[in-house]
Amino acid sequence: MCNNNLKTKIGLAIIGCGDIGRARAQFARMYPAVEWIGICDINLELAKSLADEIQADFFTSDASELLSFPEVNAVIIATNETAHYTPVLLAIERNLSLFIEKPLAVDFYQSKELLNKIISAEIDAVMGYTQRFRQRFLVVKEKLVNNQIGAVTSISARGLLNRTIANMVLSRANDHTNITPMVTSGTHMLDMCLWLIGECKPRNIFARSTDKVFGFSGSKDTTTAIIEFENDILLSMNHSWAAPENWPGGVYGMQIGLIGTDGMIEIDDMHKDVILASNHYQPPGYKHNSTTTNEKLGTSLRSRNVDFLTSIPFGQRSQSEMWGPIREETFSWFHRLITGAKTPHTTAREGHENLAICLAIDLAAKTGRILELPENLNDLESYF
């Protein structure tokens, strides 16, 4: 982080007032160094509701108007996945510190452009990969840094979501070209694997996908990939968002196994440790469109009576507040802005590389060939 980005107080703009934007706005109101808050959403009523709730200083439906305020020196981008490009570009032009929910953009060219501008302007920009702030993964990271299993030789990773999440994501995107299980949610699993093993460059990718559930929408159901890295680490990934609507996992389940020269670590993050079974309906972790619920999800969703209570990766509401890694992630970012502290946040460069690899996985699955990767992942531009 550049020292010239340090702040004595924070003037915060929040663009996007969905569940995540709302939670981060609530945390901002709690943090003493946040002295000014502005809210923006294309739905002006939603922006006003959140502004009233947290007693924001300003609200609007125009991101450019909000970012023009002299009080603003930091921005949270919490719009949906396909709407990041314009507000991120506006923030870069104003040299504002950035917290961007993943991804930078779903389009490789736009993501590359934004990253290059962030680097050129020396902006401190981090991304919302909240899993890094969960205790179990922080503990594993520390064991790997301290060489407790020697050199990692292979990783196996499996991610699972129920299709309610896929329906929600697909319903809010007009273009489904890159709205796939790997790009949209598998990126969290990829980010975790890459963060745990440290700097390593992918060399080639073999992948396959299925599309019997979401093929009609132009997306995929499940993708399996094997990635070979230059240091001979093998990463096997399987990610699906096609589990039935009444699958008890509210959002995300994940399993990661690491084998090293001196040991191994197994992480079971499927959230079966706290299970609720009830005669009452248990909603999934994210809100979803009522049309989707009634017309597409049918009785299988309405009969969802079992829930894995800790399977929402960013945390849970309890006693009118949000608790969990999203709280630590947000407060840690504020602390980073004020003190320059090194934090576990995913950088913009790492986020762009995550997108590049996920897009390359989808391309390898589409072509059915082993995809040889260039030395510089930005050179993947010619592949897409």
Over its length of 384 residues, how does the chain's per-residue pLDDT go in tens digits? 444 578 899 999 999 999 999 999 999 999 999 999 999 999 999 999 999 999 999 999 999 999 999 999 999 999 998 999 999 999 999 999 999 999 999 999 999 999 999 999 999 999 999 999 999 999 999 999 999 999 999 999 999 998 988 998 898 888 888 899 999 999 999 999 999 999 899 999 999 999 999 999 999 999 999 999 998 999 999 999 999 988 999 889 999 999 999 999 999 999 999 999 999 998 887 654 433 433 444 445 568 899 999 888 888 888 878 889 999 999 999 999 999 999 999 999 999 999 999 999 999 999 999 999 999 999 998 888
Which residues 6+ apart lie within 8 Å of 259 measured at CB?
149, 152, 153, 154, 155
What residue ranges in 164-311 does DSSP mark as E strands?
A: 202-210, 222-229, 234-243, 253-260, 264-269, 275-277, 306-308
Task: Specify which residues 59 forms β-bridges with.
Answer: 39
What residue ranges in the chain does DSSP mark as E strands?
A: 10-15, 34-40, 58-60, 74-77, 97-101, 125-128, 152-162, 202-210, 222-229, 234-243, 253-260, 264-269, 275-277, 306-308, 316-318, 321-323, 346-347, 371-372
CB count within 10 Å of CB 123 equals 18
- Which of 345, 334, 353, 329 minimizes the C-alpha distance to 97? 334
d(CA 374, CA 367): 17
**What pLDDT sits at residue 4?**
52
pTM over cut 0.75: yes
Domains and CATH numbers, the chain: 3-123 (3.40.50.720), 132-314 (3.30.360.10)
